[in-house]
Amino acid sequence: MTDTQTITIFDTTLRDGEQSPGASMNLTEKLEIAHALVDLGVDVIEAGFPIASPGDFEAVSEISKRVQGATICGLARCSDGDIDRAWESLKEAERARIHVFLATSAIHRQFKLKMDKDEIIARAVGGVKRAVGYCDDVEFSPEDAARTEPDFLCAVVKAAIDAGATTVNIPDTVGYATPAHMGKVIKTLVDRVPNIDRAVISVHCHNDLGLAVANSLAAVENGAGQIECTINGIGERAGNCSLEEIVMALRTRRDYYDHDTRINTQRLVPTSRLVSSVTGLQVQRNKAIVGRNAFAHEAGIHQDGMLKEPTTYEIMRPKDVGFTKTDLVLGKHSGRAALADRARSLGYHLADEQLKTVFAEFKKLADKKKEIYDGDLTALIEQQLYDVPDEAWSLVSFSVQSGTGEQPRVRLTLRHGDRDVTEEMSTGDGPIDAAFLTTEKITGIKLLCKDFRVRAATLGRDAQGEVTLDVEHEGKLHRGRGVSTDTVEATVKAILNAVNRIVMTTEGTSRAGDR
Ligand SMILES: [Zn+2]
């Protein structure tokens, strides 16, 4: 046996992933995901872009203080202000990394930066050196590397390593590369950059052509030692290299690549579900590794083979990636310990106070429905993860009347601080529309509904209804989620959830303006 090389898994779900439209997360949600990533076994967590907003700064600081077991990384442009701010947020981390980036392709140099090649190299070196002054783990990314002229890319990478970069990350920022091309870019660096042995080569591939995982594999084959990826492949536009796919490709085909990762693959499905429910970005059914149908054999001939010998049609076992056969059922008599245990195996790390609230809600739900499934529990916990700020709106009561040939009528009482506001309206083309209009009237926040989805959180007719919606407010997309055994109530809760996210974001923006 040769020595299998371990590939560093750099997760950027909380930075690149969060840039997916409508996927912004609050601090509690980010902390949950960070803890889950440590359980999963990722090596580096890119927690945010600290200078981008006060919210990002706070998230990176809190994750640095509270999450142990992985290197915490913050992104910065090659400017003093960015790097200082990044370090300020990272300084309490058990292990910290500063990630500086600067675009290097001709098109970015000419149109975005208006800088020539020498200026680019000087700026990159300056940025890396400033970061090295703070911490010895520094990553440098020449943005749009895949479209940068090979000679210049080699020159920039050499200069960054000389300046002290310990990881050089090669991003295919626009998702333009193909596997053979990406492999060649990495091989060129290995062959032509004289000091390349002093740094780890990393790749960051976008999925615009559906090739992010294939491109990352090609990079590994040619000498890359780190892969940047996200859970469920979320990220800008078509997203990033999907963590679960690249990890299982390396694990399943270790015979060919002779590389592996430290990922605990049985945590893949729970982490995927956590990220999906926190971000509201659903996983397609046929998604490799974590999709609901990923291991479902429909064709009779397959089923026959599977029964005789699973390996005839199965290259991985469902349990290896964390699918469990049974949904554990909790009921009225289940205690707090059982609930805590189940929450933990679903990937949540609830503080005592949160657990207390979830348990109270669980008891209430157990009175309404006999069997509480994982989906119910997830829905209850998700509601607790959403910290309700003082300025938030909450539901006091509602009533809806609708019927054939009748104008829908909605009466809504909302609480804001210690003030209750009631409005009654009979308008709209249905009770949902009427609920939207009434909420807008009370809160004064205009909402354009872009997507509206209702699904049963679990099995059975008494299942909780989960409403997820995307609304646009002042050109930005926000999501809302509400859960109840009553679908109309779930809708009203989802609308309020979106309203509160808007209130919080607007707050954040005005604070950012003060800087
Ligand atoms: Zn990216």
Q: What is the pLDDT of residue 327?
A: 63
Query: How far from the centroid of its chain's Cα atoms is residue 408's Cα?
Result: 38
Confidence (pTM): 0.87
CA 353 – ligand 1 centroid, Å = 36
Query: How far from the centroid of its chain's Cα atoms is residue 319's Cα?
Result: 23
Mean pLDDT of all residues in 483-502: 89
pLDDT tens readout for residues 365-400: 888 887 888 888 888 888 777 656 667 898 999 998
CA 180 – ligand 1 centroid, Å = 20
CA 231 – ligand 1 centroid, Å = 13
Q: What percent of the chain has pLDDT over 90?
A: 61
Which pLDDT band, with edges at 50, 70 and 90, does 505 fall under? confident
Q: What is the pLDDT of residue 309?
A: 76
CA 181 – ligand 1 centroid, Å = 18
Which pLDDT band, with edges at 50, 70 and 90, does 477 fall under? confident
Q: CA 240 to CA 318: how far, in whole Å?
A: 24
Residue 436 above 70 pLDDT? yes
CA 344 – ligand 1 centroid, Å = 30
The tokens for 189 are 């660096």
Which pLDDT band, with edges at 50, 70 and 90, does 2 fall under? low
Residue 401 above 60 pLDDT? yes
CA 240 – ligand 1 centroid, Å = 7
Judge whether 280 and 22 are in contact, CB under 8 Å: yes
CA 480 – ligand 1 centroid, Å = 25
> Pairing mode, if any, of strands 465-473 and 476-484?
antiparallel
The tokens for 127 are 């940025």
Q: What is the pLDDT of residue 464?
A: 82
Q: What is the 3-state secondary structure (H, E, C) of 146-188?
A: HHCCHHHHHHHHHHHHHHCCCEEEEEECCCCCCHHHHHHHHHH
Q: What percent of the chain has pLDDT over 70?
A: 94
List of residues 6+ apart from 153 with CB closer than 8 A: 104, 142, 145, 170, 185, 188, 189
Count how many Cα atoms sit within 13 Å of the Cα of residue 339 in the half-sphere of its side chain.
26
Q: What is the pLDDT of residue 390?
A: 62
Residue 187 above 80 pLDDT? yes
Residue 514 above 60 pLDDT? no
pLDDT tens readout for residues 246-268: 999 999 999 999 999 999 999 99
CA 323 – ligand 1 centroid, Å = 29
Q: Determine the residue type at 130.
A: R
Residue 36 above 90 pLDDT? yes
